[in-house]
Amino acid sequence: MIRSMTGYGREQRIIGEREITVEIRSVNHRYFEFSARVPRIYGYIEEKLKAMLKENISRGKVEVNVQLNMLGGKSVNVTVDMDTAYEYIKALREANEELALEDDLTLSRLMKFPDIFTVQKQEDDEEQIWKDISSVVSAALERFVSMRETEGASLKEDILSKLVNIEGYLEKVEAAAPQTAVRYREKLMARLREILEDKNVDEQRVITEAAVFAEKIAIDEETVRLRSHISQFRTLLDSDVPIGRKLDFLVQEVNREINTIGSKAQDIEITKCVVEMKSETEKIREQIQNIE
């Protein structure tokens, strides 16, 4: 199933004491380009995120946003150095007696001495955190890929309809091409009779000239190759692997054959069909730019 390069997926879960939110979005890009926004203290997961997404995404400019919020529990431990606190109290009271000051020592005043308190952040279990985050990423990625596949199905349907249109114009070209040489021979015969004012024109010479002309404007090879390219298009569109680059090359080959037919065309109806085929091909090219 083909995929669009545009996609979005979001998942939010509460795991343990953390609320984890993951958003994945992407837009068109020739290659895989990754960027992530994660809390600084969890920066170590960026490379793991990149590797995880690269397994599922071959092309596109992909941005991942990861948010983690603590819902409860202790993230830090605060302890009081009782010996240091006692020494502060002892020193303050000695100063109070020496200076005859009012003794207004309280716990809130002790809090102004930061070296009494020791604050220790609890160590994170990095493996467990990545396990929790990756489970949320997997769910967001599933939604992301599903959206890409849905849009890819629409792109496939649209491209197939345009290929049918090209084939319709190609049939008209193939039907009109043989008549071009016939009309040229008739026109050449009439012109020679007019110039020579004689009905005894060398018909064999005219036939030879018309045959040379028919050889120059023959488009059999181009139409055969064009039909082959269209067949390859359909085969690729049924593929289960990324095909964007292959389609990009193939549409160039389709355009090349149509241009050659146009350069050989000596018929107004064929020229009109060529213009229409080029228009449909350009629309296909635009759609391909969004295929992974």
Q: What is the CATH number of the domain that holds 30?
A: 3.30.230
- Is 1 inside any structural domain? no
87 and 104 belong to one structural domain: yes
66 and 40 belong to one structural domain: yes
175 and 234 belong to one structural domain: yes
- Is 46 inside any structural domain? yes
Output the pLDDT for position 67: 95
Output the pLDDT for position 19: 94
- Is 270 inside any structural domain? yes
> How many Å is the Cα radius of gyration of the chain?
38
Output the pLDDT for position 95: 79
| Global confidence as pTM | 0.69
230: containing domain: 152-288
Low-confidence ranges of the chain (pLDDT < 50): none
Q: Using DSSP, how many helices (H) and how many strands (E) does the chain show?
A: 8, 6
18 and 97 belong to one structural domain: no
Question: Which residues in 223-248 are b (16+ Cβ under 10 Å) and which e?
Answer: beebeebbeebeebbeeeebbbebbe
- Is 2 inside any structural domain? no
pLDDT, tens only, 169-208: 999 998 888 776 666 666 655 665 555 565 565 666 656 6
67 and 98 belong to one structural domain: no
Q: Report the domain count for the chain.
A: 3
- Is 143 inside any structural domain? yes
Distance between CA 62 and CA 49 in Å, rounded? Answer: 11
